Structure 1
Amino acid sequence: MNNLPFSIEVACSQKTHFEERICGDVFLSKKTEGKQRAIVALSDGMGHGVKANILGTLTATMALSLTEEHKNPNSIGQIIMKTLPVCSQRQTSYSTFTIIDADLNKEVSIIEYDNPQTLILRGKDIFEAEWHCIVPEGERRKCNREILACNFTPQKEDRIIFWSDGITQSGIGTDDYPTGWGIKNAIEFVRKIVGAEPLISAQKLASKVVNMAAVNDDGLLKDDASCVVLYFRTPRKLLICSGPPFDTENDRLLASRIREFDGKKAICGATTANIISREFRQPIIDNLYSTDHELPPTSTMQGVDLITEGILTLSKTLLLLDKYNDKAPLSNGPADELAKLILDSDEITFMVGTRINEANQDPRLPIELEMRRTLVKRIKDLLEQKFLKEVEVEYI
């Protein structure tokens, strides 16, 4: 897990042009070097739809690969600009890009070409970084081919917010914003939200910005709209326990780990919950109603944030996380509640009991149900690759 005083939460929210199913804005991200370096790229392909998506994917993929290789900003800009085709009519590249290389051991590097101005907040105040201009070779006389870059040392509670022009141009032609929402209004909107909710997560902030852009366009976005947020914050930790320990003598050890854990705590499985209830000497209170007809209701117990059924709930949580995006918001079912806890956390620890639970050997259960260890492994991989979470699995 991260030994530094803060971690990086990365989140992207996107909505497509109202006539398109494929987004022309492409967001890619990756964590490397012990999960303490985050590389993210947002590219806006010209226009919208499939063609824009292809151009955006080409640009974002190059950006991520070159940045991971520790190419300097000048080299990255030169290579991408030489590779990108140029529109013969507009004399501009077929896609824009913003690249963030955030290394908690060093500094943050930002490279920006033709996307709306990147916003850096230190708390709720704007942090003015020292930007400089990179002009690709052979482009000295073409101001529209300039690249902006900056470096700064991050601090806890810093936020980096960047976006495609579908955000700043939203509302164009309306009475409120005849020339579009604009970068100033977008920045003030973000500052107002952060001022009202100082600890708002990156995901919620990005979603609020994109939803506001949709409101500006009366729900029918005239361009793809994307907002990406990097939030440097104290790590939010979550412990998920599922399955009884192999040796009953370790029941007390499991209970001690839960009691002493500094963060949110969830238990998945009735047998595990009964063990903790006995060790904590606290009653389990079962809820009588579940909003998900596929799963048993959740339960509550003092000292634990969430108690659910085991294998079935973990299986559905994996499914929800795999499909999660702005178009598939989470509900209030047991698996949804577990997924919300996971998404709001930076560091997730799974404690997996290795005693065979006879209930899971029932041949009447669906054949596709996986054993607990395999299921947790799949969740771990998904959280690391899709959501850039730091995940550890311990067996007991």
Structure 2
Amino acid sequence: MFERQMHFIETGCVCINKTGEPICGDFFRLFENKDKKVFVLSDGLGSGVKANILSTLTATILGTMLSHDIPLDECVGTVAASLPICRTRKLAYSTFTVLQLERNVAHLVQYDNPSAIVMRNGKRLVYETQVRFVGEKEIHESSVPLQENDILVLMTDGVTNAGIGKLAENGWGTNDLAEFLERLEANELSAPRIAARIADGCKVLSENSLDDDTSVLVVKIRSRQVVNMMVGPPENKNEDDSIMNLFFSKNGIRVVCGGSTAHAVSKYMNKPLRMLSDSSGGNVPYMSQMDGVDYVTEGILTLKKVLELCTAYLEDPMILLDLCRETDAASQLAVLLIERATDINIYFGMAANVSHEGTEIDFDTKLALIKQLEACLNRLQKQIKISFC
């Protein structure tokens, strides 16, 4: 079992439009209420705008009502009564998978989507399912007590049908997908990476031409990972040692951003800085290396690029697969913040930087950048704390 305060519920979700469609007919949303998290993944009838309306309504109604502890029968009935009728098919239809996390237990409610996969210790976990009818809908319900590093994979049938008539005669069934996850050693990967790898597999099997909207949601119960970032030296130089003492007393991964900050840390630690010649890319300056610090980077240019990459990831989670192959400082920091970090403490130094005099990079610019990065990381469900010094 896991303790909520000691663990992090990490999520990765990829939704890809059917080839040729401007909008995805699948929809995912997370709802939170006190100690309860409700994930809903829905697939609307058909594709395009009509399907998107159906799936959005379904996920929103179900998630809102379930997060307020309204009985499932009433929730499903409300969905059935609320969906607009398709003029062509004379149907109001949307499949769904609901995952409720509460008191260290996963409650699954599944209707016409492929069965969710649960992975434990690198292997597929077989869980019991009860079947009952709500109106005319056959609902599958399960309760699974969770452990650290358990992985839950929810998907629409765009995943299981991937490759039919192309590279997979019978599609990518849940058994095949589970075997893929076992070979992938998914227990060693983050939820965002697993979701991206599954979606990439669907594209490969479909020869990059998806015949249906394709969505996968991965939830992983993992230990927390603190990242401590020092950005700029303290305003009062007399406080350098006290801030350094505080920074290095904290457990977690240590990141130092900025040339003047790195030299101040080097002096405090009495450790030399060594440039990493293979860490430059594009307009991002080289990284450095110092004993006792995990990442040493340039400041404002690198962080600006990190913000761009994290924002791009929110728009297209598939770029994570490309970021993982890059060696420049911004890509490495972006992967650290997206994949590994759960709690991020930023020590923001307010000292003026003489090297920035006469340029557009002033204190307000740096502060605005840090606030934008904070907002972006909040969207990534990270816990952020900024300390001004």
Q: TM-score, normalised by structure 1?
A: 0.86
**Which consecutive residues of structure 1, in runs of 5 or more, have no partner in the other structure?**
none
Secondary structure of the residue aligned to 1:4 is: helix
Change (3 A) 1:38 1:249: farther
Pick aligned residue for 2:111 from 110, 113, 138: 113
Distance 2:361 2:53 in 1: 40
2:205 alignment partner AA: N
Q: Which residue of 2 aligns with 1:191?
A: 182
Change (3 A) 1:95 1:346: same
Change (3 A) 1:3 1:373: farther
Answer yes or no: is 1:264 the counterpart of 2:243. Answer: no
Distance 1:261 1:76 in 2: 46
Q: Which residue of 1 aligns with 2:81?
A: 82
Change (3 A) 1:346 1:75: farther
Pick aligned residue for 2:219 from 226, 230, 241: 230
How far is 1:241 from its partner?
1.2
Tell me how large the CA RMSD over aligned residues is. Answer: 2.6
Q: Which residue of 2 aligns with 1:275?
A: 264
Pick aligned residue for 1:372 from 363, 366, 369: 366
Distance 1:101 1:309 in 2: 42
Q: Which residue of 2 aligns with 1:300?
A: 289
Change (3 A) 1:245 1:39: farther
Answer yes or no: is 1:4 the counterpart of 2:5. Answer: yes
Q: Which residue of 2 aligns with 1:346?
A: 342
How far is 1:11 from its partner?
0.7
Distance 1:351 1:188 in 2: 44
Instruction: Give aligned pairs, total.
Output: 380
Distance 2:169 2:109 in 1: 30
Change (3 A) 1:258 1:65: same
Change (3 A) 1:293 1:177: closer
Distance 2:290 2:83 in 1: 57
Return 373-382 or 276-285, whichever deviates more.
373-382
Change (3 A) 1:228 1:320: same
Mapped contact 2:162–2:172 kept (Cα < 8 A): yes
Distance 1:183 1:88 in 2: 33
How far is 1:88 from its partner?
7.6
Change (3 A) 1:155 1:187: same
Answer yes or no: is 1:317 the counterpart of 2:326. Answer: no
Q: Which residue of 2 aligns with 1:383?
A: 377
How far is 1:67 from its partner?
3.0
Mapped contact 1:31–1:388 kept (Cα < 8 A): no
How far is 1:246 from its partner?
2.6
1:167 alignment partner AA: V
Answer yes or no: is 1:159 the counterpart of 2:159. Answer: no
Mapped contact 1:164–1:226 kept (Cα < 8 A): yes
Change (3 A) 1:302 1:3: farther
Mapped contact 1:30–1:388 kept (Cα < 8 A): no
Distance 1:309 1:39 in 2: 40
Mapped contact 1:73–1:149 kept (Cα < 8 A): no
Change (3 A) 1:357 1:186: same
Mapped contact 2:151–2:187 kept (Cα < 8 A): no
Pick aligned residue for 2:387 from 378, 388, 394: 394
Mapped contact 2:54–2:84 kept (Cα < 8 A): no
Mapped contact 1:17–1:48 kept (Cα < 8 A): yes
Pick aligned residue for 1:132 from 106, 112, 130: 130
Distance 1:77 1:204 in 2: 32
2:144 alignment partner AA: F
How far is 1:45 from its partner?
1.9
